[in-house]
Chains A and B, each alone.
Chain A
């Protein structure tokens, strides 16, 4: 006949935490690899339009961004769509100096490969977008990318 053991004799062994750093390190590496630091603070609201036929932007270092959308601070700046270059609001005339500067920041061999990514809110009217595109044509920045969200 089986005997009942006395209670408290068999304790649950403590879980070894020795491998915890390894697990955490693994997670760290994952995040380190996938991370991309945001360089600019957005001052415009952006809901990108959806599209299905997307291509990935290949070399991140060769991309300069132009943001267009309604300002985040509507009390101060209204709701009219604004252009943002680097960290501040800009006018359409500022696009050419901005592109020139972006070119100067890159090594000379890479300059012709510079792509301009247009991050534009879906409710923006094409008038402003066309103006920006005309400026880009004038300064020879022909490679552009309309940034979109993947999906229907």
Chain B
């Protein structure tokens, strides 16, 4: 019995373009390109008994205050936001022989070895009337100072930019060498 092979009819693919267009338009409409990015911070745990003040030596604190008119004060002196980064940078750089600079502590850090870390704390206070914009601007300047120092440490010890470090242990080491100590005080009124 000679039988001709039945041919499977070809599927018409001309509507494929229409279907994919439809999908394309759907994704075009629903898409939002914004990647979420921001300044990451850790809040301190709640204070159990507010009367107990932790004593920190005065030389170890950089007092940053913002009042309700968005004016800045650093260690009791009025300051412009453009100077804040350099002041912070100066404050957090370990200076073992300076009596006025914050204390230093020699720590052993993996991959780096003995490293002098700074015990300084940046204390940030703001008024209830401060604008969020100013607050973020200040946080940004502080972050800039810390990132600069991290970059420096990363360059001296690993010969690599901090942002290019892929090894998690190395990132950890740099973060340990330059701890970001920003203390946000309990809210209070600032005149």
A interface residue numbers (CB < 8 A to B): 17, 20-21, 24-25, 27-28, 31-32, 34-38, 49, 51-57, 60, 63, 115, 117-118, 120-127, 129-130, 133-134, 136-138, 140-148, 150
- B166 beta carbon closer than 8 Å to chain A: no
Separation in Å of the A119 CB from the closest CB of chain B? 9
Interface size on B, residues (CB 8 A): 43
In residues 1-38 of chain B, which contact A (Cβ within 8 Å)? 13, 16-17, 20-21, 23-24, 27-28, 30-33, 35-38
- B137 beta carbon closer than 8 Å to chain A: yes
Q: Which of A56, A125, A138, A145 sits near B128, CB closer than 8 Å?
A: A125
Q: Which of B16, B32, B33, B131 sits near A123, CB closer than 8 Å?
A: B131
In residues 25-74 of chain B, which contact A (Cβ within 8 Å)? 27-28, 30-33, 35-46
- B133 beta carbon closer than 8 Å to chain A: yes
Decide: B31 and A120 in contact? CB cutoff 8 A: no
Segment among B87-95, B111-119, B140-148, B169-177 that sits at the interface with chain A:
B140-148
Separation in Å of the B32 CB from the closest CB of chain A? 6
A143 with B42: in contact, given A49-B133, A53-B147, A129-B132 (CB under 8 Å)?
A: yes
- Return the CB mask of B120-139 against A: 1 if under 8 Å, else 0: 00000011111111011101
- B76 beta carbon closer than 8 Å to chain A: no
A137 with B44: in contact, given A36-B32, A51-B136 (CB under 8 Å)?
A: yes
Instruction: Please report the C-alpha to C-alpha distance between residue A20 and residue B45 in the assembled complex, in whole angstroms.
Output: 58
Instruction: Please report the C-alpha to C-alpha distance between residue A46 and residue B17 in the assembled complex, in whole angstroms.
Output: 39
Q: Which of A28, A51, A141 sits near B139, CB closer than 8 Å?
A: A51
Separation in Å of the A113 CB from the closest CB of chain B? 12
Instruction: Please report the C-alpha to C-alpha distance between residue A27 and residue B127 in the assembled complex, in whole angstroms.
Output: 50
A17 with B17: in contact, given A51-B139, A53-B144, A137-B46 (CB under 8 Å)?
A: yes
A123 with B187: in contact, given A31-B31, A54-B37 (CB under 8 Å)?
A: no
A126 with B135: in contact, given A35-B32, A53-B144 (CB under 8 Å)?
A: yes
Question: B27: which A residues are within 8 A, CB to CB?
Answer: 28, 31-32, 35
- Give the residue name and chain of the B residue nearest to A54 (CB): B37
Decide: A126 and B43 in contact? CB cutoff 8 A: no
Q: Which of A21, A38, A51, A56 sits near B13, CB closer than 8 Å?
A: A21
Instruction: Please report the C-alpha to C-alpha distance between residue A93 and residue B187 in the assembled complex, in whole angstroms.
Output: 17
Instruction: Please report the C-alpha to C-alpha distance between residue A21 and residue B126 in the assembled complex, in whole angstroms.
Output: 57
A144 with B17: in contact, given A28-B27, A124-B132 (CB under 8 Å)?
A: no
Question: B129: which A residues are within 8 A, CB to CB?
Answer: 125-127
